[in-house]
């Protein structure tokens, strides 16, 4: 089979696994780990294959396990004969570090095993693919531990145990075999990694509020906390059985017959991590553990994370990790400056006051002194429990002794808000007025005085665009960068051009964009800003001498990377990144290249500042305002991990506060933003299968389900994806699946409906876009529809050169003749302005609503004067209908659940797949 990176299609439709021996290079584990962890990002993007990406993910997993201490020492190798205590045997074993995989870590390991690219695998029965991944992860884990050790723990080993310890912590892992030690370490590993059919649950329950309270504000009595014990089956997280019910001896549906044994075994494993549990285990039938306040605090801060990481279920009160002592910053604009807005600058003085806050309430200095006197790590303040520690209390006491109110410059306030905390007390709330308040709340575009259409711009700005221009100009004057994240079609291109025309700085702006958008920027600049001198720096005729003679220099991400030294020699007024998601991966060479180009200010244009994870937002913000959000590691610790892993609302609010001043996001569905954009009407067109399609559909289901039932791992995943592709092709047309070049007419219900809709569009004298994810299907349709309809049917796909693409777009936009534009979804889903069409037809569904919406937005954008009718063709009674139902049920979380393609469907069980694939009633005409 050809590697995916070659772009070649397989030469056989029925591949079979056979033994194949290949030469291999075996580098040192430490070298491999360094390559995958530290230097991979230095390689060109095109050279990083799927296998490299996968092993890089495994290496990152190993580093994460080591960082969290999820490792255990072992003695490996063949067992030796008993050792004479008076002799020192030769090295017959190795001292190694192994990962401990339980709970979420075990699930992540399984995901990595499923996602292994074919070239990472082996077909040998004695060494299955899961074993390959196990060996690789163990090797990386051992190398990662040794990389953190500066010197062996036993420099001059004398005893056998010392030799093992020296081998465990030094560069050479060889050591003598010690059977007793081996048995002890093996038992330790089995206990640490044991997972049965159930999980032990620990639930921390706070004491009830005292009645009446000891004081109006602080409760000073010593309450008792409870850690309730329970058991939960692995396959049904919704079932939680309390320990007292388990000890009753009655059979419990969903739990194994000897659930009491499972509970005791789990508690025994937990005892290693949480010794205080011994108190509960002193009874024959433990049901709960009573803790004082200090014990509850220890459970929250220390035991709970350890137990959770080891695979136990830990349930904490909702306030845990959220209600902490912090600072509230209040700023007020000087009265004599309050009336002005446009003249606001970073050197402007503002009044400020810093107060201590707990949750939504502020506390006085007297209350703080009382908290410090109590020396209790958990206290109830105004009805809510708050975690305190000695470090925070000392920091709070120091804070009240320092200057808590006075005057600061806006720049100092801004930096304080963005950095968020001083490492001890977090900034939990900001209350600012005036322009600074609007800037910090992300609504400065509404507060700033709108800038009318500047002279030289051949367009009339809408009110929201005038506010956006004021925001862009405001940030530019302050020397700050921004992210213009307006919805697709709201005119990010016009906004950027209007800023250049408004400034008239005389210094060039560098615009970096995908190659497919160069022509679009040239045309838009010539249309809206004809007075701008535009130069395209791309291709073989690149001339560095022309860079300083232009107002706007347009280049591509690839060219910016190759010509970095040349571009860095120019004194740029601004660097603009269009489709800035191209730099969402901060480690890529093109992202590093763009970030290294110096300029007075920077601007990122993107409709999707976050597509997959928050690290993408950091990368884009690091381009706009380097260092403003801190290092990548600090961002991960402070924002990414709390928000993505724990849904920490406080961290989410802090991130919004930190990024709000620099991100402008408007939606075209917001009538307060734009009220005259035509409506978008979406309709699902239900098509029936012809008898030939139904017969072929059922044959594919029977054939593929037989193969899927007997497969697992990557083979099963590949078979599921192959089955879906075949069934979708059948729904399109039998000839699409068979690829036999046979006739198209009269054999497909979906094609018949496509012809009807296309004829109606053309009869009304209008234009339409037809999207398909299959280039081969588009190549079949284009000549067929052109012949049947006797109208132009243009066809744009990824194999066309740029000039041809531009010529097709130009013809479709400006030729008055009614016509259809057939487009490949991948090649034309973004970046094109096709407002000449007011009809959009999705011929075959791409099961990510965001991708379909992006394609629809080629027509539904500014410049569109007609209502846009969107039709999605779905074959009734087939997998197309059932997957559509699943997406509708999960619409709110579609991007997270569905992802960017169809891989999420491969995780369905065989029974669920049968239900998705089955041919329902009403499918056949």
DSSP secondary structure string for all residues of 399-445: HHHS--EEEEEHHHHHHHHHH-B-SSSBEEEEEE-HHHHHHHHT-HH
Which of 3-17, 104-118, 151-165, 204-218 is most confident? 104-118
The closest alpha carbon to 365, from 391, 406, 399, 400, belongs to: 400
Q: Quick one: CATH architecture of 450-664?
A: 3-Layer(aba) Sandwich (3.40)
Helix (H, G, I), strand (E, B) or coil at 104: helix
pTM, 2 dp: 0.48
Q: What are phi and psi of 845, to 5 degrees?
A: -75, 135
Cα(470)–Cα(558) distance, rounded to whole angstroms? 32
Q: Cβ-count burial of 870 within 10 angstroms (0-12 exposed, 13-18 middle, 19+ buried)?
A: buried
Dig out the tokens for 55 from the structure.
């092993």
Q: What is the pLDDT of residue 704?
A: 85
Cα(255)–Cα(236) distance, rounded to whole angstroms? 10
Q: How far is CA 260 from CA 195, 232, 241, 809, in A?
A: 15, 12, 11, 70
Q: Cβ-count burial of 391 within 10 angstroms (0-12 exposed, 13-18 middle, 19+ buried)?
A: exposed
Please give the mean pLDDT across all residues of the chain.
79
Cα(186)–Cα(14) distance, rounded to whole angstroms? 44
Domain topology for 680-917: Rossmann fold (3.40.50)
CA dihedral 333, 337, 343, 346 (to 10 degrees): -40
Helix (H, G, I), strand (E, B) or coil at 785: helix
- Looking at the DSSP bridge assignments, the partners of residue 768 are 820, 839
DSSP 377: S
Q: Which residue has the higher pLDDT, 157 or 202?
A: 202
pLDDT above 80 (res 874): yes
Contacts of 830 (CB under 8 A, 6+ apart): 579, 854, 855
In this structure, of 50-64, 217-231, 667-681, the range with the lowest mean pLDDT score is: 667-681
Dig out the tokens for 637 from the structure.
């610790």
Cα(889)–Cα(869) distance, rounded to whole angstroms? 23
Dig out the tokens for 185 from the structure.
């370490």
The closest alpha carbon to 175, from 151, 159, 186, belongs to: 159
* Cβ count near 810 (within 10 Å): 12
Instruction: Give me the mean pLDDT over the 412-418 stretch.
Output: 62
Q: What is the pLDDT of residue 348?
A: 66
Q: What is the pLDDT of residue 123?
A: 64
Helix (H, G, I), strand (E, B) or coil at 436: helix
Total H helices, total E strands in the chain? 38, 28
The DSSP string of 601-628 is EEEEE-S-S-SS-THHHHHHHHHHSTTT
Cα(52)–Cα(33) distance, rounded to whole angstroms? 12
Give percent of the chain above pLDDT 90: 18
Q: List, by residue range, all CATH 3.40.50.10810 domains of the chain.
A: 450-664
In this structure, of 298-307, 454-463, 648-657, 750-759, the range with the lowest mean pLDDT score is: 648-657
Q: Which residue has the higher pLDDT, 410 or 559?
A: 559
Cα(685)–Cα(689) distance, rounded to whole angstroms? 13
- Looking at the DSSP bridge assignments, the partners of residue 683 are 871
Contacts of 802 (CB under 8 A, 6+ apart): 515, 516, 518, 519
Q: What is the pLDDT of residue 469?
A: 92
Q: What is the pLDDT of residue 89?
A: 52
Q: List, by residue range, all CATH 3.40.50.300 domains of the chain.
A: 680-917
Cα(33)–Cα(139) distance, rounded to whole angstroms? 9
Instruction: Give me the mean pLDDT over the 297-304 stretch.
Output: 88
Length of the chain: 925
Helix (H, G, I), strand (E, B) or coil at 420: coil
Helix (H, G, I), strand (E, B) or coil at 464: helix
């Amino acid at each position: 089979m050809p590697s995916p990176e070659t772009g070649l299609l397989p030469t056989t439709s029925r591949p079979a696994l056979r033994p194949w021996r290949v030469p291999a290079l075996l580098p040192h584990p430490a070298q491999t780990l360094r390559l995958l962890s530290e230097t991979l990002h230095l390689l060109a993007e095109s050279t990083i294959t799927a296998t490299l990406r996968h092993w890089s993910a495994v290496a990152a997993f190993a580093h994460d396990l080591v960082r969290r201490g999820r490792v255990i020492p072992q003695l490996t190798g063949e067992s030796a004969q008993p050792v004479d205590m008076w002799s020192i045997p030769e090295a017959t074993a190795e001292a190694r570090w192994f990962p401990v995989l339980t709970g979420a870590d075990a699930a992540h390991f399984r995901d990595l095993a499923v996602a292994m690219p074919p070239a990472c695998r082996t077909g040998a029965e004695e060494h299955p693919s899961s074993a390959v991944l196990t060996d690789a992860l163990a090797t990386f884990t051992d190398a990662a531990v040794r990389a953190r050790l500066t010197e062996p723990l036993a420099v001059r080993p004398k005893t056998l145990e010392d030799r093992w310890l020296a081998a465990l912590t030094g560069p050479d892992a060889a050591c003598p075999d010690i059977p007793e030690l081996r048995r002890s370490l093996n038992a330790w590993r089995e206990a640490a990694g044991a997972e049965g059919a159930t999980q032990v649950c620990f639930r921390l329950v706070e004491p009830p509020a005292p009645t009446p309270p000891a004081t109006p504000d602080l409760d000073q009595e010593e309450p008792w906390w409870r850690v309730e014990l329970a058991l939960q089956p692995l396959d049904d997280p919704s079932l939680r059985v309390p320990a007292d019910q388990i000890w009753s001896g009655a059979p419990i549906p969903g739990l194994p017959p000897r659930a009491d044994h499972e509970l005791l075994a789990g508690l025994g494993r937990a005892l290693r991590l949480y010794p205080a549990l011994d108190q509960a285990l002193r009874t024959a039938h433990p049901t709960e553990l009573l803790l004082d306040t200090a014990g509850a605090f220890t459970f929250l801060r220390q035991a709970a994370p350890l137990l959770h990481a080891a695979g136990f279920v830990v349930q904490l009160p909702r306030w845990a990790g959220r209600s902490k002592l912090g600072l509230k910053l209040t700023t007020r604009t000087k009265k004599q400056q309050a009336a002005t807005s446009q003249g606001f600058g970073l050197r402007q003085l503002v009044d400020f006051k810093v107060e201590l806050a707990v949750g939504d309430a502020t506390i006085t200095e007297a209350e703080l002194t009382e908290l410090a006197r109590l020396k209790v790590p958990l206290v109830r303040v105004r009805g809510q429990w708050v975690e305190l520690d000695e470090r925070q209390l000392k920091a709070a006491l120091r804070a009240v002794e320092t200057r808590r109110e006075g005057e600061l410059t806006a720049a100092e306030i801004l930096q304080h808000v963005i950095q968020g905390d001083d490492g001890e007390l977090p900034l939990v709330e900001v209350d600012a007025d005036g322009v600074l308040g609007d800037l910090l709340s992300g609504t400065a575009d509404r507060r700033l005085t709108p800038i009318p259409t500047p002279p030289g711009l051949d367009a009339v700005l809408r009110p929201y665009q005038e506010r956006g221009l004021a925001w862009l100009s405001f940030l530019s004057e302050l020397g700050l960068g921004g992210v213009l994240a307006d919805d697709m079609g709201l005119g990010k291109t016009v906004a950027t051009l209007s800023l250049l025309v408004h400034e008239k700085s005389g210094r060039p702006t560098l615009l970096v964009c995908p190659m497919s958008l160069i022509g679009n920027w040239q045309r838009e600049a010539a249309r809206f800003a004809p007075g701008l001198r535009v130069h395209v720096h791309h291709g073989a005729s690149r001339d560095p001498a022309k860079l300083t003679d232009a107002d706007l220099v347009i280049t591509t991400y690839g060219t910016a990377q190759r010509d970095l030294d040349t571009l860095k020699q120019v004194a740029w007024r601004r660097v603009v990144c269009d489709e800035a998601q191209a730099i969402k991966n901060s480690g890529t060479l093109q992202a590093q290249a763009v970030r290294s180009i110096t300029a007075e200010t920077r601007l990122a244009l993107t409709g999707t500042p976050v597509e997959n994870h928050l690290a993408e937002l950091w990368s884009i913000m690091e381009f706009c305002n380097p260092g403003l959000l801190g290092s990548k590691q600090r961002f991960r610790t402070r924002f990414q991990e709390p928000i993505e892993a724990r849904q920490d609302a406080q961290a989410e609010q802090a991130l919004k506060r930190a990024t709000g001043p620099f991100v402008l996001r408007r939606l075209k569905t917001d009538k307060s933003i734009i009220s005259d954009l035509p409506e978008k009407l979406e309709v699902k067109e239900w098509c029936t299968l012809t008898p030939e399609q139904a017969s072929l559909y059922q044959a594919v289901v029977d054939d593929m389900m037989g193969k899927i039932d007997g497969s697992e791992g990557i083979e099963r995943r590949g078979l599921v994806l192959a089955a879906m592709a075949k069934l979708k092709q059948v729904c399109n047309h039998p000839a699409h699946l068979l690829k036999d070049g046979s006739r198209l007419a009269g054999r497909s219900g979906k094609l018949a409906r496509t012809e009807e809709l296309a004829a109606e569009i053309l009869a009304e004298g209008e234009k339409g876009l037809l999207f398909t994810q299959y280039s081969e299907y588009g190549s079949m349709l284009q000549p067929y529809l052109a012949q049947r309809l006797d109208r132009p049917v243009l066809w744009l796909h990824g194999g066309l050169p740029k000039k041809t693409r531009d010529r097709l777009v130009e013809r479709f936009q400006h030729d008055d003749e009614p016509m259809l534009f057939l487009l490949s979804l991948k090649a034309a889903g973004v970046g094109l302005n096709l407002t000449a069409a007011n009809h959009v037809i999705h011929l075959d569904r791409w099961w990510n609503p965001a991708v379909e919406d992006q394609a629809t937005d080629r027509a539904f954008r500014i410049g569109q004067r007609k209502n846009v009718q969107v039709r999605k063709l779905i074959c009734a009674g087939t997998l197309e209908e059932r997957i559509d139902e699943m997406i509708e049920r999960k619409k709110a979380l579609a991007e997270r659940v569905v992802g960017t393609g169809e891989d999420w469907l491969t995780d369905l069980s065989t029974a669920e797949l049968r239900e998705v694939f089955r041919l329902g009633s009403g499918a056949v005409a």
